[in-house]
Amino acid sequence: MSKQLLIYNNISPVSSEAHRDWSIQIDNHAFAEELNSVPLLATEITSVARELPVIFAKTQDDGGFVPLAVMGLKKGQNLFLDEKKRLTMRYIPGFLRRYPFAFANDGKTDNFTLCIDDQFEGWSKDGSEGKRLFTETGEQTEELKGVMEFLKDYQYRAELTNVFCKRLSELELLEPMEANIKLKDGQEGGGFNLTGFYVVNREKLKKISDEDVLDLFKKDGLELIFSHLQSMQNLNALVNKYSEQSKEAA
């Protein structure tokens, strides 16, 4: 999977010239309607793991790993949207909270450019609705300054997440897993398999050196690993949620 472009349609750089009169209003999360999983920051794993399964997946960008929160059991399915297309989970991951904004770079330097998905439906190009990005004189509004600070923090935490996932890979703790989902009697299909994701192998974790255990502990890695492992119990709740929504749709 590509970590960056899951819900972004057309990314363009923000400028006071091109977007002087633009304002934004976010009334719902319809942009996440077809997301069955979403990338997580490592610092979000513990919060998300209380409600959703947290797994790992290989990225198309560099062949590394990224933690994901599972929101649906099938492609294009998000089980956590209400009738108004608003997310219902207790903790909404930063990846979704930052939309339609994002930082982008050319891959050659450490300089990042503030960008937006200019096809997001919540834009008002004449500033008639929502919060403006720029003042009439072209200065950043408090709204846009807040977005910049959020994205800077997100980028910093994303780098820490890459370090954490790289460490799991170096210790060879991640292994591919397949989950056999069994539906309640009488439901169409009866069940299906979930594949293509990775989890930490408990037995391999027990065999790493004391030095590596201490290193993980001091960097909060052990807490994240155990939160991830505990979160897999949420698959049952996800199956029940799927069954309930399937029954209502029928």
Report d(CA 164, CA 40) in Å as an integer: 12
Q: Could you state, in order of their start, the residue ranges of all structural domains in the chain?
A: 11-249
- The per-residue pLDDT for 106 is 67
- The per-residue pLDDT for 1 is 40
User: What is the three-state SS of the chain?
Assistant: CCCCCCCCCCEEECCCCCCCCCEECCCCCHHHCCCCEEECCHHHHHHHCCCCCEEEEECCCCCCEEEEEECCCCCCCCCCECCCCCECCCCCCHHHHCCCEEEECCCCCCCCEEEEECCCCCEECCCCCCEECECCCCCECHHHHHHHHHHHHHHHHHHHHHHHHHHHHHCCCEEEEEEEEECCCCCCCCEEEEEEEEEECHHHHHHCCHHHHHHHHHCCHHHHHHHHHHHCCHHHHHHHHHHHHHHHHC
Q: Return the number of other C-beta atoms located less than 10 Å from residue 172's C-beta.
A: 11
What is the average pLDDT across 6-29? 94
Q: 51-60, 184-193, 213-222: which range is least confident on average?
A: 184-193
- The per-residue pLDDT for 230 is 97
Band of residue 190 on the pLDDT scale cut at 50, 70, 90: low
pLDDT at 246 over 80: no
Band of residue 60 on the pLDDT scale cut at 50, 70, 90: confident
Q: Are 231 and 48 in contact (CB under 8 A)?
A: yes
Amino acid occupying residue 143: E
**What pairing do the DSSP bridges indicate for beta strands 123-124 and 65-70?**
unpaired
| The length of the chain, given as a count of residues | 250
Q: Of all residues in the chain, what percent carry a pLDDT higher than 90?
A: 77
Report d(CA 144, CA 131) in Å as an integer: 9
Q: Return the number of other C-beta atoms located less than 10 Å from residue 49's C-beta.
A: 24
- The per-residue pLDDT for 244 is 85
CB within 8 Å of 40: residues ≥ 6 apart = 48, 54, 66, 67, 68, 69, 93, 95, 161
pLDDT: is 39 or 194 the higher one? Answer: 39
- The per-residue pLDDT for 191 is 66
- The per-residue pLDDT for 75 is 87
CB within 8 Å of 167: residues ≥ 6 apart = 216, 221
